[in-house]
C-alpha cells in the first residue's frame, strides 16, 4: 500500500470509528516506513478533527465521537513507543508535570504533548485527566517540577487553568506554567498569567525548551 492509501486508511478508521482496526493500521504504516508524527497529523488526528467539527454541527453524535477518540487512543498505543525510542540517549532537559484540568476528561492532546516532550528529552509525569488544582500543586512541589503543563479542552474548564496558576503563584512555587488545549489562545494565557502557550505538541516542545533555557536546536 502506498503512503497516500495508508493515510486514507488512517483517516477512515478514525472517521468511521473502527476501533478494532486502528492498531493494525498504525502498525502497517510504521512497517511501510511512515513517520509516526506524520501518521498523527495527516491521518488519525485529521480525522478526529473532522469528527469534532461534525459533532459541533450536529452531524455526528456522542457515540461516534467516543468511537473516533478510542480509535485514536489504540493507534497511539502503537505509535508512542516509536516516539519514545528517540528518548533513550538524550540527557534529561527538565521535569514536566502534565495533566488535564478538573472537570475535563479530554486526554488525547495532552498525551501527544507528553510523548513529544519525552522524545525531546524531558522527564514527563502525566497526572491524567480531571486533575484538581490541589493535586497539580502537590505533585509539582514534591517532584520539584521545572514546568507544569495544563491542558483544557472545554471553554468551561479553561477557567481551572487560571485557578491553578493563581495558587501556584500564591504558594510561591518556582515552576513555569504552560497552558494549551483547543480553546486556549495566547491572549488567554497572558490574561491568566501563564508563562507560555503552545498551539500544538511540536510548539509545546519548543516552548518547554525555552522555559528551561535551552536554545532551539537544528
Ligand atoms: C475526542 C473528543 C472527545 C472525547 C475525548 C476522549 C479522550 N479520551 O480524550 C470524548 C468523547 C470523551 C469527549 C467528551 C466531551 N466533549 Co469533546 N471533543 C473531542 C474532540 C473531537 C477532539 C479533542 C482531541 O482529542 N483533539 C485532538 C488533539 C490532538 O488536539 P488537542 O486536544 O487540541 O491538543 C493539541 C493542542 O491543543 C495542544 N495541547 C493540548 N493540551 C495541551 C497542554 C499544554 C500544556 C500545551 C502546551 C499544549 C496542549 O497540543 C495538542 C497536540 O497537538 C473535540 C473537538 C476539537 N476540535 O477539539 C471535542 C470537543 C472539545 N468536545 C466538546 C464537548 C462539548 C464535549 C462534551 C461536553 C460532550 C458531551 N455532551 O458530553 C464531553 C465533555 C466531557 C468532559 N467533561 O471532559 C466540544 C467543546 C465545546 C466547548 N465550547 O467547550 C468540542 C470542541 C466539540 C465540538 N465541536 O463541540 N470529547
Query: Which numbered atom of ligand 1 lies nearest the CA of 73?
Result: 8
Task: Answer yes or no: is 216 within a domain.
Answer: no
Indicate if ligand 1 lies below 6 Å from the C-beta of 166. no
The predicted-structure confidence for 48-96, as pLDDT tens digits, reads as follows: 999 999 999 999 999 999 999 999 999 999 998 887 776 555 567 899 9
44 CA → ligand 1 middle, Å:
14
Q: What is the pLDDT of residue 215?
A: 55
Indicate if ligand 1 lies below 6 Å from the C-beta of 55. yes
Under 8 Å between Cβ of 168 and 148: yes
- Specify whether 101 is located in the same domain as 197: yes
Indicate if ligand 1 lies below 6 Å from the C-beta of 104. yes
- Specify whether 52 is located in the same domain as 124: no
Beta strands in 79-159 (DSSP E): 95-100, 123-126, 147-151
- Specify whether 159 is located in the same domain as 62: no
Where a domain ends, among 84, 110, 135? 84
What is the pTM (predicted TM-score) of this model?
0.91
- Specify whether 53 is located in the same domain as 108: no
Indicate if ligand 1 lies below 6 Å from the C-beta of 74. no
Q: What is the pLDDT of residue 33?
A: 94
- Specify whether 54 is located in the same domain as 130: no
Cα Rg of the chain, angstroms: 18
Task: Answer yes or no: is 74 within a domain.
Answer: yes
Task: Answer yes or no: is 90 within a domain.
Answer: no
55 CA → ligand 1 middle, Å:
11
Where a domain ends, among 84, 117, 152? 84
Torsion of the alpha carbons at 147, 181, 199 and 201, rounded to the nearest 10: 60
Indicate if ligand 1 lies below 6 Å from the C-beta of 185. no
1 CA → ligand 1 middle, Å:
31
Where a domain ends, among 84, 110, 140? 84
Under 8 Å between Cβ of 111 and 126: yes
- Specify whether 99 is located in the same domain as 201: yes
- Specify whether 57 is located in the same domain as 141: no
CATH code of the domain containing 42: 1.10.1240.10
- Specify whether 180 is located in the same domain as 150: yes
- Our count of domains for the chain comes to 2
CA distance 200 to 180: 8
The predicted-structure confidence for 41-61, as pLDDT tens digits, reads as follows: 899 989 999 999 999 999 999
Q: What is the pLDDT of residue 113?
A: 94
- Specify whether 133 is located in the same domain as 205: yes
- Specify whether 105 is located in the same domain as 12: no
For residue 137, pLDDT over 70 is answered with: yes
Indicate if ligand 1 lies below 6 Å from the C-beta of 48. yes
- Specify whether 79 is located in the same domain as 100: no
CATH code of the domain containing 191: 3.40.50.280
Structural domain boundaries, residue 103: 95-211
CA distance 74 to 57: 26
- Specify whether 139 is located in the same domain as 207: yes
Task: Answer yes or no: is 158 within a domain.
Answer: yes
Amino acid at each position: 500500500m502506498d503512503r497516500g492509501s495508508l493515510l486514507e486508511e488512517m483517516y477512515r478508521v478514525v472517521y468511521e470509528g473502527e476501533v478494532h482496526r486502528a492498531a493494525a493500521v498504525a502498525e502497517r504504516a510504521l512497517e511501510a516506513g511512515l513517520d509516526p508524527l506524520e501518521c498523527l497529523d495527516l491521518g488519525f488526528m485529521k480525522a478526529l478533527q473532522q469528527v469534532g467539527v461534525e459533532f459541533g454541527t450536529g452531524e455526528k453524535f456522542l457515540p461516534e465521537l467516543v468511537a473516533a477518540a478510542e480509535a485514536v487512543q489504540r493507534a497511539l498505543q502503537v505509535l508512542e513507543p516509536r516516539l519514545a525510542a528517540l528518548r533513550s540517549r538524550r540527557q534529561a532537559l527538565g521535569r514536566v508535570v502534565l495533566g488535564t484540568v478538573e472537570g475535563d476528561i479530554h486526554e488525547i492532546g495532552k498525551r501527544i504533548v507528553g510523548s513529544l516532550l519525552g522524545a525531546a528529552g524531558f522527564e514527563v509525569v502525566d497526572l491524567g485527566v480531571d486533575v484538581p488544582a490541589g493535586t497539580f500543586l502537590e505533585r509539582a512541589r514534591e517532584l520539584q517540577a521545572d514546568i507544569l503543563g495544563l491542558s483544557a479542552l472545554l471553554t468551561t474548564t479553561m477557567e481551572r487553568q487560571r485557578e491553578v496558576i493563581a495558587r501556584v503563584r500564591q504558594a510561591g512555587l518556582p515552576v513555569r506554567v504552560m497552558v494549551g488545549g483547543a480553546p486556549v489562545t495566547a491572549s488567554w494565557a497572558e490574561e491568566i498569567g501563564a508563562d507560555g502557550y503552545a498551539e500544538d505538541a511540536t510548539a509545546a516542545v519548543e516552548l518547554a525548551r525555552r522555559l528551561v533555557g535551552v536554545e532551539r536546536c537544528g
